[in-house]
A and B are shown apart, each in its own frame.
Chain A
């Protein structure tokens, strides 16, 4: 076999994929296999492809993705735990021609921030809400989340979540789909290449719909937290498929009427 000079291959004409410019060069702090990195990348790619970097304002949550602003190169506000939809409400109403998105985990969006989530959705704020559901509090070390499924072991449900004792996991996405203020509601995942492509389409739509001024576009991403779940990345993906997805089935829940 002939010697191959790498420099002959690494050329612009041979590029099949490259990092979007809307992602910074900072190395992400997320654990290997975590869905945050993939979802960040998708959001950044959508912003670049739509050409809206100069019109986009993001809201970061509290949790592992608190540092979203280190990675996605757009103007960003860091909200108190659960309050991202309140920030987004004001920003969008005061700057109505901008694209405003929130990025929240399950504890942020479905526990401490439930009121802000429900009421922003019910008012029909013209924003995009990205909801990362990994069924656990990752940053604080793996405690029960509102979306932890029954039987799930966490550091505060060491014998598994018992619905009689700790309440039921909440299906926030189905819940907000009932509200007249949501325009597009979907549940996606990012742990296989095919699902990544589908999620990107969903997030693209969720941003594009802001131009129509029809209300909230809400994208849940069912994700994994191998560190919080105390599993390897591969085990975590398998566990997600076998345990999370039966309870949180993927697909559109509310789509705009034709």
Chain B
């Protein structure tokens, strides 16, 4: 095997990849199952080689507002947390979306609601893709399905955050965060120099420009509406340019599992098991959850008889799958909750029960 590969936990891989992305700052608060991120960073001491700042905040509320400040200063900043902590951050995320700041937020999802469990879940899909906090906004949401993608999505997330001046969420879960797999890292990217900081950032008003103001406030409803329309246009552009997905044996499939993250890994096996039983199954895996690959899913209705949305939730993404197919084919949901992970076999059984009978 290529000796550049190392064996690592998803959370650690994401931390190492963050350093290599040329991140300027990480601000976070410990919570299971993602505490390894900050533990890795504080052990790696990136401030000694890349100059990256790592700070344990007093709360998730403080951490997300540190992101606001750091991103407002034009820097590449990020945080990671898990479901209850992400809920605490929602106010700040709304302000960040409203001030159009580029930040990266990693959610290593656990079961809920409330304190819930510390085991993997996908029950934060609505919160991640539909806004989450108050006001009309969206995050750009990427869902990794492997330790390798935990690493690969970090530089991608920073690039997309800056391209759109919009918060990007990496929506992972406790399984991907905790499991160990081989991973290969991209080379170290340099941090931005002072001259490379964006022109809108608050870096100190130079005599040759007006002062820069980072705010989400406008008391004039008509100006605010124009700003809302600008955001709508930004999300429309994301739908045009940033849809990401993978298909697995969909070409001849009569039934397609739609699943992201950990569920998509399990469904790969379900496809194989179903085909061994003579059922032409395939897998559609959304990678970008917002923008959602609605056109690509709709295109499958030309030959697919039914879709099963498999999520570790009570059924959240299934709503977007149903909207995508415009009622042309039936869409069912199967989910385990509370931190329980479904087996490939039970998923096939559900497919047979819901669509084929017998």
Contacts and interface: CB of A to CB of B under 8 A. Distances in A.
A92 B99 CA distance: 19
A90 B95 contact: no
Contact of B59 (A66, A79, A95, A115): A115
Greatest chain B CB density within 10 A among A73, A79, A88 is at: A79
A6 to B, nearest CB: 33
A22 B216 CA distance: 23
Contacts of A95: 73, 203-204
A90 B69 contact: yes
A83 B73 CA distance: 16
Leading 6 A-B pairs by shortest Cβ distance: A87-B69, A78-B215, A86-B65, A75-B202, A90-B70, A83-B65
Interface in B136-158: none
Given A73-B205, A91-B202, A119-B57, 8 more contacts: A75-B202, A78-B217, A80-B65, A83-B68, A91-B73, A93-B53, A116-B61, A116-B65
Interface string A102-135: 0000000000000110110000000000000000
A136 interface: no
Interface stretch (A53-61, A171-179, A202-210): A53-61
Greatest chain A CB density within 10 A among B61, B65, B68 is at: B65
17 contacts: A74-B205, A75-B212, A76-B211, A77-B68, A78-B99, A78-B214, A78-B217, A79-B65, A80-B65, A83-B92, A90-B68, A91-B202, A94-B73, A94-B77, A95-B73, A98-B203, A119-B62
B25 A93 contact: yes
B19 interface: no
B53 A77 contact: no
A144 B173 CA distance: 43
A55 B203 CA distance: 7
B67 A73 contact: no
B106 to A, nearest CB: 17
B214 A54 contact: no
Contacts of A79: 65, 68-69
- Interface range, B side: 35 or more
A65 interface: no
B27 interface: yes
B204 A90 contact: no
Greatest chain B CB density within 10 A among A60, A69, A75, A116 is at: A75
Contact of A116 (B25, B62, B201, B212): B62
B91 interface: yes
Contact of A55 (B24, B69, B204): B204
B66 A87 contact: yes
Given A55-B204, A91-B202, A98-B204, A77 B214 contact: yes
Contacts of B217: 66, 78
B225 interface: no
A143 interface: no
Contact of A74 (B55, B61, B211): B211
Interface string A17-60: 00000000000000000000000000000000000011111011
Nearest to B27: A90
A89 interface: yes
Contacts of B214: 76-78
Interface in B201-225: 201-207, 211-217
B72 interface: yes
Given A57-B73, A76-B214, A78-B214, A90 B203 contact: no
